[in-house]
Structure formats: structure tokens, C-alpha cells
């Protein structure tokens, strides 16, 4: 081979160095957005070759899938060089920073170096918070891959509310008018809005206690944006409390959370989400709260109250998707969602948090400010400390630990913008309240949210 190790190329003699290889891929992606990894090649470029078994390539693919985050889809090939077999792995990605085995690395020439706090913070601060370029990227799918019945209903709804001035003729014409088709291919906005290939993952769960030790219902739903919105609204509607009273001769039922309020947050969670291979929208319900999460945070320095009181104008993350949702009335008006939610529920009946990974909004359920529950392992009636009383640092740390990644105190501090000592105090407080627990020994252990 005429290649040498560099900021985009790494050699490994055998697959016993698979972990080190995954780390190299992460560091190369962080530095250059691309990386090539060769197994069966010595550091100096000499080909040593490999004995390739039936599961060798699948083992490599599994290690990359499980330990490199956010997820990437690598290409893996077996190549013959000088009558010897080697394995060539190629990966590309722009969703930096990437971690390997829970840590972040950066490539310097042919070395993989652990990122400093300053480097990690710079990566997060430098991330783009406008996804309009992504929306217009062309996919491999065409008009035949859309749900035409959904598209017809969409145009009919737009006609009824007076926001669409044309009648449905065919999928191709409609998609072009909505700017969702480039040549004969759907762009990302069109694919995720109308595809019949179920492109998005929505996780739904209900827990009998706020500790979320066990669940009473859990499901995963796949669909396009419209289908996921409908499923999410239906799930919340069916799993919250309703009160009933007799008015005249009629029984009138009222939800504990105004339907318009949680529908507004659910719609926003899909209109402003950041789509990636490893991301999903999540909704879970406990006795005290309805929790709604979407990948993709608010723009740094903004707060929902700023949008609600008019001190900050609307900042649309996916303008094309949001516009399409507006045309059929799914979105009533731009930039007024938080104002309506706070007006309907009151600011004291909801809470929210924002970090580099995503945005969380929670509705406090009726009569749950002081909540009693059964401590399941011990069977003891206990008073739970509501999350309403957590400090900002504790909320930020808990949001990071709620994701399925492993971080040490320094990395958590870099993500939430706090010192390691502040993070340590927050973790201790969260642990004392039963919201966080430690897994493993001091050297190799980590914390997870309950």
C-alpha cells in the first residue's frame, strides 16, 4: 500500500485492536468528517493480512454501532492486496462531536487524543442550529415512496383552512408545489413528512411511579412526521386523567392538561427536531408529569418565556417542514406556541430544560406537586421530592444522564457549562434523592438517571 497513517487514515494489524479502531474512527470524524480504517496492515503500511472468519465483518459493524455515537453507517469491505486479505472500513459524518466508548477524541496527525474541556465546548457551541440546509438535501426516494392517501388528505385540509390554493392532481405535482421534490427525488423534508417507509422513531412509555423503575406500558412507533404527531397526541390523550361533570343533561369530560397545550408542544417537538440515525422523539408519563423530548436543542441563549412574552422573535429550525405543517393547519401560527401553552396551563404547571442534545418540556399533572408513591424495592410509602425543586445545575446534569451515553464528571461539566465540583455536588444531590444511581466501580463506573 502507498498510504500512510494520517488524520483520515488508521492501520490496525489485527481485529484484536477493534476498540482502538473505533476510537480512531471517532477522532477522525471529529477532525475531518471522514475516516478510513484498515485491519491487516501494520503501522508502517506493510500488509500483514488477516484470517477473516464468518462473523469478522459483522463484529466490526456491531462494535461501531454500539460504541460510536451519534450513530454512523460505515461501509466495510474485504480487499485482496498482495495475495492477502485486509478489511477496509470507511465512515463519514458531520454530526460532531462523536464519542467512542463514552469519551470524545480528536485526531492530530496519526494520533487519537482525548478532547480537552475547551475543545469539547467549542464543538458544541459551534454546532449549527439551523437545519434548512439538511431539509433540502436530496434522498434516494421518489413520489412512489409517499403515502398518497395522506398527501390527498393534507391538500384537502389546506383547502378547507384556506392556506392551499390548488386542488390535488397527483403526487408529483403536489410535491413540486410544496418544494419537496428536487428533479424526481424527495428532499429530506418531503421524505420525513410524507414517506410511507416509516422513517422516524417515537418512543412511548407509562410508568406507575416517578422513579421509573418499571413500566406499565412501553411501545415504539415508526412513521412519518404526521403519523408520529397523531400517535403521540393519541397516546397522551389516552393515558392522562380526565374529570367529568354533569352540565344540564350532558356529561362533560375535561383533561387534566388542556389538549391544545400538549398538542402544541408535540407538534413543536417534530417541527423543530434534529433528525439523525441515533435520535428519536420520546414521551413518557408518570404519576406527576407528562415528559416530551425532542432531539435538537433551542438556540443557545434563548428561553421559551422569551418567545411567549415577545422579547424574542420566532426562530424556525426546519423552515420548510414548519411551512408545510402550517399550510394544512397543523401549525396555527408561527412563534406563538409557548405563549398559548403558558396561557392555557400557567407557567407553574410546566417546566422545561435545554442542553446540547435536545429540548425537554414537562407538564405537571393535576394534584402532583406533592406526590406520594410506593418505593417498589422496599414496599415503603414515601414522599417523593418533586423535580420542580431541583437547581438549574441538577436539572442540566440529570438531562445529560438521561441519555444512553456514558460520561465522566469532566465531560458532563463541559456539556452543561459547569465545573467538575459543581457537577459532583449535583450528582450527590440527585443520588440522595433517588434520581440518579451509580453503576460499576470507581474507576470504570458511570451514573445513570433512574
Fold entry, domain 390-450: Arc Repressor Mutant, subunit A (1.10.10)
CB 446 within 8 A of CB 437: no
Q: What is the pLDDT along the chain (450 residues), one digit of tens a residue?
A: 567 899 999 999 999 999 999 999 999 999 999 999 999 999 999 999 999 999 999 999 999 999 999 889 899 999 998 899 999 999 998 778 889 998 999 998 899 999 888 777 777 666 666 788 889 999 999 999 999 999 999 999 999 999 999 999 999 999 999 999 998 999 999 999 999 999 999 999 999 888 888 888 999 999 999 999 999 999 999 999 887 777 777 777 888 888 999 999 999 999 989 887 767 999 999 999 999 999 887 766 667 776 666 665 566 788 999 999 999 999 887 666 788 888 888 777 888 888 767 889 999 986 544 333 333 333 322 333 334 346 777 778 888 887 666 777 778 888 888 888 788 888 887 777 677 788 877 666 777 776
- d(C-alpha 317, C-alpha 336), whole Å: 15
Q: Return residue ranges of the chain for CATH 3.30.950.30.
A: 9-115
Cα 38–43–46 angle (5° rounding)? 80
Which helix (H) or strand (E) is 120 found in, with range?
helix 117-125
Cite the beta strand spans of 159-295 per DSSP E.
Answer: 181-182, 185-186, 200-206, 217-223, 242-247, 250-255, 281-285, 289-295
Residue 121: which of 446, 350, 417 has the closest Cα? 417
Question: Is 129 buried (19+), middle (13-18) or exposed (0-12) by CB count in 10 A?
Answer: middle
Domain with CATH 1.10.10.10 in the chain: 390-450
The Cα–Cα gap between 401 and 296 comes to 16
pTM confidence score: 0.62
The helix (H) or strand (E) run that includes residue 364 is strand 358-364
The CATH superfamily label for domain 9-115 reads Schlafen, AAA domain (3.30.950.30)
Beta partners for residue 80, in sequence order: 85
Amino acid at each position: 500500500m502507498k498510504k500512510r497513517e494520517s488524520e483520515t487514515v488508521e492501520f490496525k494489524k489485527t481485529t484484536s485492536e477493534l476498540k482502538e479502531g473505533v476510537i480512531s474512527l471517532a477522532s477522525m470524524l471529529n477532525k475531518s468528517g471522514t475516516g478510513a480504517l484498515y485491519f491487516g496492515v501494520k503501522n508502517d503500511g506493510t500488509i500483514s493480512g488477516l484470517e477473516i472468519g464468518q462473523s469478522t465483518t459483522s463484529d466490526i459493524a456491531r462494535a461501531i454501532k454500539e460504541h460510536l455515537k451519534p450513530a454512523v453507517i460505515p461501509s466495510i469491505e474485504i480487499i485482496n492486496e498482495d495475495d492477502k486479505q485486509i478489511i477496509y472500513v470507511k465512515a463519514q459524518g458531520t454530526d460532531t462531536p462523536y464519542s467512542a466508548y463514552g469519551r470524545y477524541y480528536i485526531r492530530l496527525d496519526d494520533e487519537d487524543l482525548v478532547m480537552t474541556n475547551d475543545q469539547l465546548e467549542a464543538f458544541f457551541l459551534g454546532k449549527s442550529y439551523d437545519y434548512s440546509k439538511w431539509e433540502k438535501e436530496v434522498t434516494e426516494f421518489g413520489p412512489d415512496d409517499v403515502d398518497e392517501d395522506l398527501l390527498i388528505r393534507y391538500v384537502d385540509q389546506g383547502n378547507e383552512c384556506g392556506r392551499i390554493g390548488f386542488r390535488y392532481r397527483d403526487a408529483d405535482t403536489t410535491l413540486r408545489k410544496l418544494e419537496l421534490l428536487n428533479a424526481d427525488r424527495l428532499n429530506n423534508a418531503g421524505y420525513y413528512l410524507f414517506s410511507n417507509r416509516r422513517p422516524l422513531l417515537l418512543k412511548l412509555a407509562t410508568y406507575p411511579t416517578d422513579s421509573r423503575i418499571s413500566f406499565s406500558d412501553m411501545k415504539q412507533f415508526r412513521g412519518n412526521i404526521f403519523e408520529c404527531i397523531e400517535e403521540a397526541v393519541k397516546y397522551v390523550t389516552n393515558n392522562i386523567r380526565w374529570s367529568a361533570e354533569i352540565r344540564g343533561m350532558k356529561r362533560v369530560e375535561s383533561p387534566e392538561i388542556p389538549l391544545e397545550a400538549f398538542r402544541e408542544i408535540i407538534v413543536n417537538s417534530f417541527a423543530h427536531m434534529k433528525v439523525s440515525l441515533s435520535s428519536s422523539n420520546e414521551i413518557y408519563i408518570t404519576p406527576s408529569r407528562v415528559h416530551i423530548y425532542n432531539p435538537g436543542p433551542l438556540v443557545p441563549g434563548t428561553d421559551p418565556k422569551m418567545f411567549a412574552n415577545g422579547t424574542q422573535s420566532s426562530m424556525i429550525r426546519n423552515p420548510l417542514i414548519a411551512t408545510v405543517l402550517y399550510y394544512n393547519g397543523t401549525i396555527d401560527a408561527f412563534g406563538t406556541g409557548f405563549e398559548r401553552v403558558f396561557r392555557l396551563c400557567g407557567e407553574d404547571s410546566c417546566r422545561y430544560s435545554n442542553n446540547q442534545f435536545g429540548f425537554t418540556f414537562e407538564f405537571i399533572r393535576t394534584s402532583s406537586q406533592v406526590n406520594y408513591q410506593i418505593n417498589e424495592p422496599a414496599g415503603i410509602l414515601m414522599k417523593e421530592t418533586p423535580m420542580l425543586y431541583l437547581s438549574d445545575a441538577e436539572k442540566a446534569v440529570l438531562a445529560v444522564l438521561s441519555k444512553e451515553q456514558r460520561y465522566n464528571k469532566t465531560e458532563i461539566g463541559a456539556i452543561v457549562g459547569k465545573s467538575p465540583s459543581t457537577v459532583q455536588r449535583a450528582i450527590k444531590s440527585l443520588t440522595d434523592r433517588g434520581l440518579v444511581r451509580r453503576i460499576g466501580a470507581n474507576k470504570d463506573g458511570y451514573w445513570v438517571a433512574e
